[in-house]
Amino acid sequence: MSNDRPTSDVVNRRGFLRLLSAGAAGLAGAALIGCGADTGSTSSTTPSGSTPATKAAIPEASPPAGPPEQKTLRIGHLPITDAAPLLIAHANEIYKQHGLEPEKPTLFRSWSQIAEAFQAKQVDVVHMLMPMAISLKFGQNVPLKIVAWNHEGGSALTVRNDVNSVSDLNGKTVAIPFPHSIHNIVLQMLLRDANLKPIVTGDPAPGSVKLVVMNPPDMPPALANNSIQGFIVADPFNAVAEVNKVGKILRFVPDVWYRHACCVVVMHEDDIKNKPNWAQSVITSVAQAQVYARENRSEAARILSADGANYLPQPRPAIERALSHYDINEYGPTGAIKHADWGSQRIDFEPFPYPTYTAELVRAMKETVIDGDQSFLNNLDAAQAHGQVVEEKFARAAIAAVGGPSKFGIDASLSRTERISVK
């Protein structure tokens, strides 16, 4: 299947919380193969990874129209490379450049934890799976807004070394991090193309693939002991499997959906309404950190690792691989990269939330099988959803403040056609 496409009913709260619990996409508890000890469930360490050489590379940005209405900033994140811009902006003291006084980012171990902390207003800003944010907004009427993309790509389908095609997953079990995720959506696209039926209950049988929700840190060990035959998730867990030689990349997700968003920056609606300068200061800081991460991938990996500010528990080699290793000569012959002409990266960074992507994502969510109530999607108009869940003015201003769209390798029009191709 290849397409280039141009541009509620409320779910029972108990049912959604059950979905959150079942999908504790979380990163709770388990140690990573070869990755050392868990860092715990408290805040990250004080940023000690910023050196004068690091700060010299931080891109400049024009300030917001006025001083922030408040200085405090509380950030919630999971220990994955998707969170890099929020963390690098803290480590390099970019938030402080815009008059903010951020607390140490709080590390959560599951999507359920981060969602509950956000709803309880224990944190101001989080990165969140975009389908999850859509589900919270339209399924639970949670007053949130997506204010920017946090990154693009950054995920892959990783399989055991004896699996050479999606068809080889016939009758097997594959792990996903959360039902409402780009991972689940893209995996089911690949399965349908291979004439395999995704199932979420019962045992896998010929012609089907069982999808199980699993904490990402558990995925590489489960792959190694053959409890599962594949997993699709954000890095650095794919890189962990590669580095430890327990699995291989079967397909990069950005090679199926061009420069897709996985995690987005989410704020409370009342904050962006009542504190617009504060919100703009945050998003401009994130945009600066995105430019920095694009231009300094190796140093970004150092900052995120224990060699720097110790935001992520994985070792630096796995983090650096996750941020930079997308070798056409290596992955092209295996089919992990089929669209070299797209010019994708393993992970990339830019803030603009494209309306075409939101619309296509809603359509894709409607086609995705999950173990839970999706009735909120029945009457959700894909074309109108963007204006209801996304506030893009902060991202537009941030892009201008850091030097324009060329800083992110995106079109000056801030528009695009969605490219989705499983072939």
122-156 pLDDT per residue, tens: 999 999 999 999 999 999 999 999 999 999 999 99
Q: How confident is residue 58, by pLDDT bands cut at 50, 70 and 90? A: confident
- Quick: pLDDT tens for 381-399: 999 999 999 999 999 999 9
- Retrieve residue 95's tokens: 């938030």
Specify the pLDDT at position 373. Answer: 84
Identify the burial level of 59 via C-beta atoms within 10 angstroms of its C-beta, where 0-12 means exposed, 13-18 middle and 19 or more buried. middle
SS3 state of residue 194 = coil
SS3 state of residue 43 = strand
Angstrom distance (rounded) from CA 331 to CA 248? 10
Q: Please report, as a single letter, which amino acid is at residue 114.
A: I
Specify the pLDDT at position 194. Answer: 98
Judged by average pLDDT, the poorest of 35-44, 339-348, 366-375 is 35-44
- Quick: pLDDT tens for 236-286: 999 999 999 999 999 999 999 999 999 999 999 999 999 999 999 999 999
Q: How confident is residue 38, by pLDDT bands cut at 50, 70 and 90? A: very low
Specify the pLDDT at position 196. Answer: 98
- Quick: pLDDT tens for 164-176: 999 999 999 999 9
Q: Which residues 6+ apart lie within 8 Å of 85 measured at CB?
A: 150, 151, 286, 287, 289, 290, 293, 349
The sign one gets for the Cα dihedral 75, 361, 389, 18 is negative
Q: At what angle do helices 276-295 and 84-91 cross, to 10 degrees?
A: 100
Give the CA distances from residue 273 to residues 144, 147, 346, 370, 401, in Å, rounded to whole numbers and listed in that order.
Answer: 11, 12, 35, 34, 21
Specify the pLDDT at position 60. Answer: 77
- Quick: pLDDT tens for 187-230: 999 999 999 999 999 999 999 999 999 988 899 999 999 999 99
Give the CA distances from residue 190 to residues 78, 193, 326, 370, 421, in Å, rounded to whole numbers and listed in that order.
Answer: 27, 5, 20, 16, 9
Is 19's pLDDT higher than 80?
no
Alpha helices in 316-392 (DSSP H): 316-324, 328-331, 355-366, 382-389
Instruction: Give the domain ranges of the chain.
Output: 1-423
DSSP conformation letters of 126-192: EEEEHHHHHHHHHHH---EEEEEE--EE-EEEEE-TT--SGGGGTT-EEEES-SSSHHHHHHHHHHH
Specify the pLDDT at position 13. Answer: 39
Angstrom distance (rounded) from CA 409 to CA 423? 25
DSSP conformation letters of 202-223: S---TTEEEEEE--GGGHHHHH
Specify the pLDDT at position 10. Answer: 29
Mean pLDDT of 31-38: 33
Is 9's pLDDT higher than 80?
no
Specify the pLDDT at position 36. Answer: 32
What does pTM read for this prediction?
A: 0.87
Nearest to 16 by CA among 412, 376, 403: 376
SS3 state of residue 94 = helix
Nearest to 176 by CA among 224, 111, 115, 243: 111
Specify the pLDDT at position 371. Answer: 87
- Retrieve residue 278's tokens: 């504060």
What mean pLDDT is reported for the chain? 88
Question: E strands of 55-100, at which residues?
Answer: 72-73, 75-77
Specify the pLDDT at position 100. Answer: 97
- What is the CB neighbour count within 10 angstroms for residue 6? 10
Q: How confident is residue 48, by pLDDT bands cut at 50, 70 and 90? A: very low
Specify the pLDDT at position 40. Answer: 32
Give the CA distances from residue 241 to residues 127, 133, 249, 312, in Å, rounded to whole numbers and listed in that order.
Answer: 24, 28, 9, 16
- Contact, 109 vs 29, CB < 8 A? yes
Specify the pLDDT at position 166. Answer: 98
Q: At what angle do helices 13-22 and 130-140 cross, to 10 degrees?
A: 160
Specify the pLDDT at position 291. Answer: 97
Nearest to 23 by CA among 179, 244, 187: 179
Q: Please report, as a single letter, which amino acid is at residue 294.
A: R
Nearest to 163 by CA among 237, 239, 252, 246: 246
- Homologous superfamily in CATH for domain 1-423: Periplasmic binding protein-like II (3.40.190.10)
- Retrieve residue 107's tokens: 């590390």
